[in-house]
Amino acid sequence: MTLSEFWFILIAVLWIGYFFLEGFDFGVGMLLHPLAHTEDDRRVMINTIGPVWDGNEVWLLTAGGAMFAAFPFWYATLFSGFYLPLFLILLALIGRGVAFEYRGKVDSARWRRRWDLAIALGSWIPAVLWGVAFANIVAGVPINAAGNYTGSLFTLLNPYGLLGGVTVAALFALHGAVFLALKTDGEIRAKANAVAGRLALAAIVAGGAFLLWTQLSHGSGWTWIPVLLAAGCLVAALLANRAGSEGWAFAATGVAIAAAVVALFGSLYPDVMPSTTDPTFSLTISNASSTPYTLRVMTVVALVMTPIVLAYQGWTYWVFRKRISRSDLPPVTVP
């Protein structure tokens, strides 16, 4: 295995970590209005992700930084060609982060409703647009000989890309629902279990169609394994949820997300960004990577720091592992 191949795999792992962790807190935000009809219920839902949502977003920064350092030409083409959708994602994440901090600063129902809307939009918009973006990365986009994207926003809004957006949104909403069922008690837990059953059916249909389309159009022989694993885990999540096994349901949705990302990156290999203009213009692992020296230095740093980061984040989740209910809410104090 070359260092460029190693970093391609490591970047896939970083995106798996981001979609797994940020996926459930996006899902909580997406379900904030459908599940919570009182201020106490909204506080319970937000408190389930309150200690971890900002740490989950660090995985996005790490994945983007790794792409910039290991594959600068991939990063340049992707972030310039997909500028508008990525800018919308950034705005949504900024609004969402501010909303978590500001919704409790004023004792006003109207004030909180506005910030709750920012949380919901800040969860839905990235979920859909990440699906659209990754679907187009796998399918290929118009790239010229200089490595510049020559399409527009509407180029990305093709049937395959839109199905990718629907699939990721459905997966994240399901992941968030089973997380809420796992982390809460009382009425919210019952509601989350009920909505998870319906979302599982939507995720199976959308995810099955998207992954089958990906496999038949872009996959190879071995990528059938993660495709079938993702489909099987979605069915397992549905059955586990119906049986009241919330931990197994959450594990199943997590494995389904990881398997889907593996299928996408496996279908992309050895390209990192295929060109639909001319296959010879495609960016590949070899022609888009940094110098061998850069990759060697990055590898040493990654091997040292990655276990530390994983251990710290695992400890964080262990500390905040307790279920939350209305009785655990502290009194409201407004500055």
* Structural domain containing residue 273: 3-328
Regarding beta strands 271-273 and 283-284, do their DSSP bridges make them parallel or antiparallel, or are they unpaired? antiparallel
Q: In the block, which residue shows the tokens 């968030």? A: 176
Number of structural domains found in the chain: 1
Read off the pTM: 0.93
Of 256, 270, 56, the closest CA to residue 248 belongs to 256
Is 113 inside any structural domain?
yes
Contacts of 207 (CB under 8 A, 6+ apart): 167, 170, 171, 230, 231, 234, 256, 260
Is 334 inside any structural domain?
no
CB 238 within 8 A of CB 201: yes
**CA–CA distance, 283 with 77 (Å, rounded to integer):** 9
pLDDT in tens, 1-30: 889 999 999 999 999 999 999 999 999 999
Q: Which pLDDT does position 325 carry in this prediction?
A: 79
* CA 57 to chain CA mean position, Å: 10
pLDDT in tens, 308-324: 888 988 898 898 888 88
List the helix and strand counts (H, then E) for the chain: 13, 2
Give me the chain's average pLDDT, please.
91
pLDDT in tens, 31-82: 999 998 888 889 999 999 988 888 899 899 999 999 999 999 999 999 888 9
Is 335 inside any structural domain?
no
Is 82 inside any structural domain?
yes
pLDDT band at 159 (very low <50, low <70, confident <90, very high): very high
pLDDT in tens, 258-305: 999 999 999 999 999 999 999 999 999 998 999 999 999 999 998 898
Is 242 inside any structural domain?
yes
Q: Which pLDDT does position 334 carry in this prediction?
A: 62
Of 59, 61, 27, the closest CA to residue 45 belongs to 27
**CA–CA distance, 95 with 112 (Å, rounded to integer):** 14
Is 257 inside any structural domain?
yes
pLDDT band at 333 (very low <50, low <70, confident <90, very high): low
Q: Which pLDDT does position 332 carry in this prediction?
A: 67
Is 333 inside any structural domain?
no
Is 111 inside any structural domain?
yes
